[in-house]
Amino acid sequence: MQKYLAAISLMALLTWWYWPQQQSNQASLAHTPEPQSAAIADTAESAPNVDDWRLPQPLLTEFNRLNEKARQQDPMAQYQLGRNLYFCYYSADNDVAHQQKLDELRQTGDSSASFANNYDRYSYCRGISRADKNRFADLLMQAAVAGHPEAAAEIGTVSAKLYLQATGQDKLERDAYVAARQAYLKHQQTLLENAAQTGHVNAIKLLLRDAMGQRMGEDSTAKALAYLQVLRHLEPEFADRYQWQEQRLLSTASADDISRAEQTALTLLKNATPHPPR
């Protein structure tokens, strides 16, 4: 009974937070003037945009410019170059290797979409060296450490195996490799938690992945409940899906798990902004 009372309390508190927040957001939007074009031009390079990582032309044409800015420790340039190199990581390194890949796709009867995607990726990445492609992990990590939330969320998608391979740590002795792997996973989780504090939806989803996989130790259940509550409000179009997962966890959660989930969820929601349905 104590467990269910705590659950009801959590939902009531979140509803209390979300309803006035939603009204406030709507009122704010209704009275927000459109930005001036000059202001947009002044901040275009510094404002992160999830849709702006890919360039309108092949990467090689802008590589030197981005590379120089990244060397100057510009987090946005580090993120954009790292994200582009991540996209290019699996592209062929030369024309011969690319043609061999296309021949393989023809022989295996792969879909036309796979063929087109492979061709597009190689065309965009052509001329980028393997050594530069391997830099994607370091660049994304540098941007994430500097506080770039998109970079942190992108690092969250990079497996420990791939990260160690790209950073040249895959040839370490077994004990050193295991230590490096654990250190990376711990750092990855910390960066995602930092991004989650800004209300970054993808970072919260990746943290939910780890919590549901019991990769957060004894805090796994409490944190999973918290992330589900937050996502249910940030993505109302998927509320039923998140609520279903939440109910499954509540059936085994302790009263302490629910209480800690309540505090974590309310803290995250202070900086979060619900986005409109897609």
What does the pLDDT look like over 173-210, one tens digit per residue?
Answer: 999 999 999 999 999 999 999 999 999 999 999 999 99
Task: Tell which residue, 261, 268, 142, 265, has the closest CA to residue 195.
Answer: 268
State the pLDDT at residue 51.
Answer: 53
Residue 6 pLDDT > 60: no
pTM: 0.78
Task: Tell which residue, 54, 49, 58, 51, has the closest CA to residue 76.
Answer: 49
What does the pLDDT look like over 79-90, one tens digit per residue?
Answer: 999 999 999 999
Q: Which residue would you say has higher pLDDT here, 92 or 15? A: 92
What does the pLDDT look like over 99-134, one tens digit per residue?
Answer: 999 999 888 877 788 889 999 999 999 999 999 999
